Amino acid sequence: MENNRGIINEDNIILRVSHLNSYYKEKTDRFGSVSVRKQILKDVSFDIEKGKIVGLVGESGCGKSTLAKTILGIVKDYDGTVEKKCEGIQMVFQDPYGSLNPAKTIGWILEEPLRIRGELKDPERNRRVSEMIRKVGLDDSYLVRKPGELSGGQRQRICIALALMMEPKLIIADEPVSALDVTVQDQILKLLLKLNKELGVAILFISHDLKVVYSVCSRVMVMKDGEIIEQGTDEEVYKDPKHPYTKQLLSSVLMD
């Protein structure tokens, strides 16, 4: 099937967003006693297929994070539809330190989602935690450490492991490498590609960095002022952009 979202396989869709409009209450005085309803997202529609990495690119403040929060149910004030055809969509945030409880060990943090679910006994939970920390390129010695004892890149690996503990079909990665230096960025991007291939997990990859998005995503959406103004394969969007704003963004970076 082909529509304005591109060629898609209906049987493979795990997330469908249709005509989504999201709103915030914005305070209009310093006492917070008066507020207005401000529209952030405007008629946003797209699909994500299982196992695909889809990029969402745009400048800061364009609505990317609002879209992520609406999908996750954090933003409640919206109309349109968010149809989740898979369970347990998980999030990887920009700040790996703020996402982890500094008072707990890494082992405790990774085991907590399994404890909450309550389906597994201690030995099986321990096995799953050990297996997952290895999948993100670390080892069991990290399980007794606390987040403050880890580097930024190591903490982001733990955040990725935490997002994967419940075996989601889709994770939303919101600027997951922007707080890291270039060398560590490359390591985390390679890790995400590896996990996508090995586990088949789909990723909605949100970034303002066009080069980063091009390096990992097979499909790309461009957002401006709360609207998706262009979407297509990476080659379509980067090599033959149609919208003037996309052309402007690409002209500001040197694409190889």
Residue-wise pLDDT for 82-137, tens only, equals 999 988 899 998 888 888 999 999 999 999 999 888 878 889 999 999 999 999 99
Q: Which residue has the higher pLDDT, 164 or 5?
A: 164
How do 2-3 and 6-7 pair as beta strands?
A: antiparallel
Q: Is the Cα torsion angle 67, 71, 73, 77 positive or negative in sign? A: positive
Domain count, the chain: 1
User: For residues 152 and 22, what is the distance between their CA atoms, to the nearest angstrom?
Assistant: 32
Residue 191 has pLDDT above 90, yes or no: yes
Residue 65 maps to a domain: no
Q: What is the pTM of this model?
A: 0.91
Residue 172 maps to a domain: no
Those residues whose C-beta lies under 8 Å from the C-beta of residue 199, and which sit 6 or more positions away, are: 135, 164
Residue 147 maps to a domain: yes
Residue 1 maps to a domain: no
Average pLDDT of the residues of the chain: 91
Residue 122 maps to a domain: yes
State phi, psi for 218 to the nearest 5 degrees: -90, -25
Where in the sequence is the domain holding 129, given as residue range(s)? 96-166
Bridge partner list, 57: 207, 222
User: For residues 11 and 180, what is the distance between their CA atoms, to the nearest angstrom?
Assistant: 37
How do 35-49 and 13-27 pair as beta strands?
A: antiparallel
Residue 125 maps to a domain: yes
Percent with pLDDT over 70 in the chain: 95
Those residues whose C-beta lies under 8 Å from the C-beta of residue 52, and which sit 6 or more positions away, are: 202, 203, 218, 219
Residue-wise pLDDT for 131-145, tens only, equals 999 999 999 999 999
User: For residues 178 and 161, what is the distance between their CA atoms, to the nearest angstrom?
Assistant: 18
Q: Which residue has the higher pLDDT, 178 or 42?
A: 42
Residue 71 maps to a domain: no
